[in-house]
Structure 1
Amino acid sequence: MAKLQLPKRVVRFAVTPVVLFTLAVFLIIIPSTFAKQLQTNSPNGFHIQTNKPPATKPQQLLEQGEALYQAGRFTEAVNVLQQAVRSYQRESNNLAQAAALTNLCLVYQQLGSWKEAYATIDNSLNLLGWDKINQKLNVNNPKSELLEILAQTLNIQGELQLAQGQTDVSVKTSQQAEQIWKKLGDNAGVTRSRINQAQALRVAGFYRRSFDILNEVSQQLNSQPNSPVKVTALRSLGNVLQQLSELELSQTNLQQSLEIAQRLQLPLEISLTEFSLGNTARSLSNIKDAIAHYENAAKIAPNPLTKVQALINQLSLLVENERITEAKSLIPTIQSQLLNLPSNQASIYARINFAQTLTTIGNKKYIAEILATSVQQAKIIGDERAES
């Protein structure tokens, strides 16, 4: 595939038996993966350990926490991961404890427990020897295992910052992670960090800069086997092209992303890409296709946020096209899904979008309640833009 030109008009871990499990966060940032023992990738995308020794108690707790996390049982996952953290603390295993804390941060993000998420990620970085004030590692001759967990933890910190609307800080944090991945010679890690940077730039409105990064990443991935990273890179590029009004190019990249996600059988990735295809089809005035993509996204979505975002976009599209009866039939489902959302930036904007759509067909009192909840949550997470 030739490099895209826009028109002028516009783990190796043999020591630490821990793993950072997968998170696909609401801003479609590349999934973050923890480090594990020597591992290979299974066809379904999960990690399989080779020559796996008998699991220790804290390792068993981590595996249990991951299973609970994947099942969406976040409160239970917190309790189990806290036990793992304490177990590693008793063993004075700082490296494993730091990785377990970073896992715990991921779960706190899903719960919208931002204070706990920040405290946990700070604790993890402190255990790894990271100087928060000077933004550097205070460890002489650090081993590769430490650097790999540090890079992954910085990636997740960048995602946390982006989730709170701190785009500039998120970019810098992801750049720090990228430098560590380069030092380790880990091209996949470099790619993940660069995609995170591009995502933050896109959210901040720097579409051209985001495009340049994602276009380069996509070219690098073009000759490589299909992977979740490739799915995310193509989708991210499609999203930026949509923002730049290059709709045919957007659709092409998004369709490629969807096809790979389907081959790899990745439900969340399929849902996210269907959602993006719906947005591009909508911009192309292909109403029928847009509704179909939104319906697919909501049907496949394994988490409530992605589901409710797709339903709200479908609702607003139906209202725009004066299909009021169909639109009203979606409202009860959306209302029930809103109750399950964490307190984060994406959830706040989902509520605001829902309220705006309801202004023409909804109850004014209920709309006021939604907006009041949004303001309250924006204050909690310190998002002044959303609050205004």
Structure 2
Amino acid sequence: MLGFYQHLHAHPELSMQEHATAEYLEAHLDALGIEHFRCGGTGVVGVLRNGDGPVVGFRADTDGLPIEEDSTVDYRSTARGTLEDGTEVPVMHGCGHDTHVTALMTATEVLAADRENWSGTVVLIFQPGEETAAGARAMVEDGLWERAPHPEIIYGQHVMPGLTGTVEVAGGPAMAYADSWKVTLRGEQSHGSQPQDSIDPIVLGAHIITRLQGIVSREIGPRQAAVVTVGTFHAGLKENIIPATAEFTLNVRTLEDEVRTQVLAALRRIISAEAAASGAPEPVIEELYRFPRNVNDQDAAAELTEVLSGALGAENVLVAEPKMGSEDFGTLPGALGVPSVFWFFGGFDAQTVESGTMPVNHSPRFVPVPEPTLWTAATAALAALRARLGS
């Protein structure tokens, strides 16, 4: 298990480019005698059959991030990749997807070697492209549920900045909606010394971005959750030229349908109104991607909590609050209309947790301690599957 994890960590690949990762997973499934097929480009689906019984699905995401790793582990990543625009970037498993894959493959190995004590079918979904919200959709569109048995429930899990050896399970909403937009502001270019002849998209952008921060603080109720983040702003080529355009990207997280609708409408209203106030043309808004909300089935989450308490100890199973992070996991059960449960496990020792400097997901220092993190995740995956499979 440790060697498998270290290989994955040292060889990450960008979203929807997980070619070597897919081949590595296929080789392991071949060695276990498990049938499999490609799906969604670089996705791999294994079908572990063992007689009659329930069908259960489990998903693990496989992609890395354009991050340069800042760690001292001897299996740290020095990998490079190329973004869609041709930019070469460092690549790292900065969100811990390598731990997810390792846990599922380890649970699969145990089940494959212990067929006498269970019956049914496990659908193993090694999904690409989670970070771009492309992978789950690509698998569904590529006929995942026409080619694989239909599970009665689908499980998934995610490593988080928390105490290793513990897991957190939410009943109901587990992770937020995410909407990402690119906004192009159109102005009138002129010499920097002649602002009267311009429509300055940088000033316009500054007003919009400042005004957007009032949506959460002044339009959303204090008991409701929402996040509006502007992550990039680009404009101009020279200090004495007022540019013709400016561009920014934003990201919105919400937990409730009505709040999401309200926030997105407010965004459009403010962007349009500020442009009108500046005498600028209507901005161009482009949707980059959208993550669905992840909602755990209440009954299944309660059952899983009991199962994990038995496997890990009740003191190590915590109740999770809904997280404002997002996942495309919900696309997979949503396409079938079956229940799902998605939970979290901690990845850092007590000293790191208590230090106040614990790295978060997408940090260049997000390298979970292998043990007992991997053991916990693999044990949780195995317990969840065994509880559903026939005996």
TM-score range, shorter chain: under 0.3
| More strand, by proportion | 2
Highest CA radius of gyration, 1 or 2? 2
Higher RCO (CA < 8 A, seq sep 6+): 2
TM normalised by structure 2 equals 0.24
| More helix, by proportion | 1
TM normalised by structure 1 equals 0.24
